[in-house]
Structure formats: structure tokens, C-alpha cells
Structure 1
Amino acid sequence: MSSLPYASPREPQWKLALLLGGASALATLALLPYLVANLPPPPTSSQLPAWVIMLGPVVETGVLSWLLAWAGLHLGARHALGAPWLRAWVYGTPAPAARSRWLLALALGALVGCLVIGIEAMGGRAPSSAIDGASQAWRGMLAIFYGGIVEETLCRLFLVSALVWLLARIKGGAARPWMFVTAIMLAALLFGAGHLPAGFAMGMTPSPLAIARIILLNALVGILCGGLYWRLGLEHAMLAHVSADIVIHGISPLLLS
């Protein structure tokens, strides 16, 4: 059992969930320049102003993240999963006594980011955007917050917590280590599959090899973040994801341009 000060399942989680929902909305707003540069424009038949069309996903993502963050915090608290450092800050409770591993999370995230880029380079993957490397890099640096906040809220805080809760409930007892590992692996694969629509929209050929590659490469990040979420809390998973995305979306375009 973790020594981190996770919440009781009976504690209200709305305040922390609202923080994560608001941060997710801002992260989605920061993602828009990256989407505009890399994805085809939406249909123009709508009479709504362009800014209204663009802000729609921002609001939707914020609300969805808020609701699923609450569910993940509630379900995860039963099995020592959650966001202990953010919880201490939001509710004014004592900081976790357990030692943090911020530098380790940064280093592991950067390492996995380099691994992803290396595997892509060995596979002969061409840059996916026609814009120059510097322009792609600054847009990619804005996109890192979406991965670190939104994707970790949905795929680790909610999905891993829900899967662990479900497996423990099926077995009628406390969560066992294999349940955490299973939940982390399943969530990582779903996380990888969730990148397929964007890959297709950016011109990826829908071949079995290309599909497998995009799922497995993103799953590498998901497995790392899932392990950190289990052992050290959501904050370490977020930091590792940001670090990986800095390499993949910020540094890589400059090196490959």
C-alpha cells in the first residue's frame, strides 16, 4: 500500500476535479495552433464564426476532463491512486511525506521520447508537416500541455483507476499488483489507438504496419506514465508525459527539418 496521502473514497473530489478540468480546457486552447497547422480545415458550411467553432472543443474537453477526473479520483482513492501533491495544494493539507521523484520523471520521459523518435527514424518516417521546423517546434511546445494534462487526466487518472477498480470488484477483494499492471497496459494500448484518427488526418497510410507502429509507439509513453501514476501519483505521470512530448514535438522537428 502506498504511503502517499490519497483521499478517502468518501471525500468530495469536485474542487480538484474542477482544477483539472479548467487546466484541460486551457491546454486544449494551447493545442489549437498545432491542430490548425497539421490537420485539414473543418467544413466551412457552418454559419458560426471560426472562433466559435474552434472554442467548442475547448469547452467540451474541459467539461469532459472535469467529470472524468472526478470519477477517476473517486474510484482511484479506493486503491491508493490519485494526485497527492495537487490534492495537498488544493485542499491545504500537509504535503506528502514520501519523497518525490521529479527529476526521475523528467529523465524517463525524455528517454522514452528519444526512443520513440529513434524508432520512427529507423522506420524511415518522414516529417508529417510541410511547415518549417522552427514553426512546427513552437506549435509542438504549445501542444505538450495537452498531452501532459488532458491525456493524463483521461487515460491515467480515469481509465487506469476505473480498470483497477473494475478488476478488484470482479475479484471481490483488494487490488493486486497484476491488476495495476493489466490496467496500465490496457490503458496504454487504448491511448495509442486514440492517436490513430489524428494520424490518418495527417496523411498516414492506413496499413497494418503503420497502425501497429502508431499504437505501440504511443503505448510506450502510456506504459511509462501508467507506472509513474501507480507508484508516484498523477503529477509524476504528467511531468514525464510533458518531458516526452518536448522531445517528440519540440526538439524533433528542429532536428528533422
Structure 2
Amino acid sequence: MDFNKSIKPSVFLFILGFVGIVSIVPFIPNLLALQSAPLPLTVEMIQVVSVIQSSVLLLFLVGLGSVFSKKVGLSSPVIFALAHSENALKELKPQIIPAIIGGIVGGVFLLALLGTFSSYLPAEFLSAGEKLMPPWYTKLLYGGITEELLIRWGLMSFFVWGMYRLTQKSGSDIRSHNYILAILVSSLIFGLGHLPIAFALSPEITAPLVAYIILGNASFGFIAGYLYWKRGLECAIGAHMVAHLTMIVGANFA
């Protein structure tokens, strides 16, 4: 019975992340259209393979986060409350305002960053980015949920534990610098992970393009990582969603 209780939150988290993976499937043909070379498989098979690969990665990092988050005091309080039939609303309330503030701040910063860099970015990149913008639901579900499970729940939790073991004696209280370093490293990895798609969108690779992709994607990671640390995973997820909504609204006004 205890084993079942301990595994339920992980199952919930995986299902949420899987919904995000499925949301990107209709967008895959648009990405494949970027390739000039013949496709090795049919579009449908590539979609299936993509879902399988992404699901395996999600499964691994959800498992990683489930193990190491407990070791370093990080949590997903709303999901854990739901899994154990406790008051999830009570756990959610303290996360709502920080998520809204963090998301708006992050979204506005990213819009300002794009405005600052736009004149230095390749025209082909900007044009392709407008044509290949993922649908809003993919931004919310994959960006907001799946990416947070991969980067914050999985990688950041592991990095906090790893840095703690490298810099402190076992059994001592985990110091803040371990969380801060883990936020920085996981955010940087998140930024670097967006370079391949950026390079696919632009025939010209420039220093401003690389700087924009890394800084733009990593910068919000600092906000989400801090919220995960201080408030819980759902706060980071909510902020990520609000950031996307802020950028959508801001782009429409622009």
C-alpha cells in the first residue's frame, strides 16, 4: 500500500507531461517542412517515433525528479495532495499570486529582449519564427508543463543533490548556493537545448542569434527555478503558462 501511494504522484506527473507531448504532434509536419532532404520515414511514423522518444525522456526525468526532489526538499505539493486525496486547493492558493507575477515579469522581459535583439537577428530566422509559431495550446501544455517537468523537476532536482554532495558533508543542511547553482545550470542547459531548432530556422548562424536563444530561454529558467525552489513545481508551471500568455497578448498588441 505504501508503495502504491509513493508512486501515484509520479504517475500523475507523467500523465500531465504526456499531454504536453501529444499537443506538439500536429505541429511536427510544420517542422519537417524545414528539411530539404527526403524524409527517412513517413510523417506519421516520425510523429509516432517522436512521441515514443519524448515519452521515454519524460519517464526518465520524472523518475529522476521523484527520487532527488525528496532528498533536497523540493516538491510538487498540489500533485502530491491530489495523489493522497488531501486538500489540493489549500496547497495551490499560496502558489497563484507568485505564479502570476513571475509569469508576467518573465513574459514582459522576453518581449523586451526580442525587441532589443530583433534588429540584429537574421531576417530568415524572424520570418520562419512567425510562420512556424506553435499553437497556443502547445505553448501552454508542452512549454508550461512538460518542459517544467523535464528541466525543473528532473534536472534541477538532480543538480541540487549533485552540487550538495560536491560542496557539503553528507547529512548537513543544504545551503542556498546549491539551489542557485542548480537553477543556473539547468536554465543554461534549457537555453542550449533550443539552439538546434533555431539553427534549423536560420541559414545564417550569428553571435546575436546564439546569444538571444540562450539568454531568452535561460532567463525565464531563473524565475521558474526560483519559484520551484520556494513555492513548488506547480508555481513554476503556472508562471511558465502565464509567461506564454503574456507574450501572446503582447505580440498581438505589437
**TM tier, shorter chain?**
0.7 to 0.9
TM-score (norm 1): 0.82
**1:164 corresponds to 2:157:** no
In 2 relative to 1, CA 234–130 (structure 1 residues): closer, same or farther, beyond 3 Å? closer
Q: CA deviation at 1:168?
A: 1.6
- The SS at the match of 1:189 is helix
Q: Is the 8 A contact 2:12 2:79 kept in 1?
A: no
Structure 2 spans left out of the alignment, 5+ residues: none
Matches within 5 A, 1:114-133: 114-123=108-117, 124=119, 125=121, 127-129=126-128
Shift of 1:68: 1.3
**2: CA distance between counterparts of 1:60 and 1:193?**
19
What is aligned with 1:147? 143
Whichever residue aligns with residue 25 of structure 1, its letter is F
Alignment of 1:66 onto 2:66: no
Report the aligned-residue RMSD.
2.8
TM-superposed deviation, 1:130: 7.2
Alpha-carbon shift at residue 195 of structure 1 (Å):
0.9
- Other-structure match for 2:14: 21
Question: Is the deviation greater in 26-35 or in 95-104?
Answer: 95-104
Question: Equivalent residue for 1:87?
Answer: 80
Q: Which runs of 5+ in 1 are unaligned?
A: 1-7
1:20 Cα shift?
2.1
Residue by residue over 1:63-107, the C-alpha shift from the partner in whole angstroms, topping out at 9 and shown as x without a partner, is 321221121121111221021111110222454569513133123
* CA–CA separation in structure 2 for the residues paired with 1:80 and 1:147: 24
Larger proportion of helix: 2
Aligned counterparts of 1:176 and 1:185: Cα–Cα separation in 2: 15
Aligned equivalents of 1:143 and 1:62: distance in 2?
18
Q: CA 1:29–1:115 in 2, change beyond 3 Å: closer, same or farther?
A: same
Aligned match of 1:106 in 94, 100, 103? 100
Write out aligned runs for 1:1-257 (5 A): 13-37=6-30, 40-41=33-34, 44-46=38-40, 48-95=41-88, 100-123=94-117, 124=119, 125=121, 127-129=126-128, 136=133, 139-170=135-166, 171-172=168-169, 173-203=172-202, 205-248=204-247, 250-256=248-254
SS, match of residue 100 in structure 1:
helix
SS in 1 for 2:10: helix
Whole-angstrom CA distance in 1 between matches of 2:129 and 2:144: 25
Distance in 2 (CA, whole Å) between partners of 1:130 and 1:228 is 29
Match of 1:4 in 2: none
CA gap of 1:33–1:231, structure 2 versus 1, over 3 A, is same
TM-score, structure 2 length as denominator? 0.83
Residue pair 2:28, 2:47 contacting (<8 A) in 1 also = no
Query: In 2, distance between residues paired with 1:113 and 1:245?
Result: 6
Length, aligned pairs only:
243
The whole-number CA distance in structure 2 between the counterparts of 1:98 and 1:55 is 35
C-alpha distance in structure 2 between counterparts of 1:106 and 1:55, whole Å: 35
Contact kept in structure 1, 2:9 and 2:80, CA below 8 Å? yes
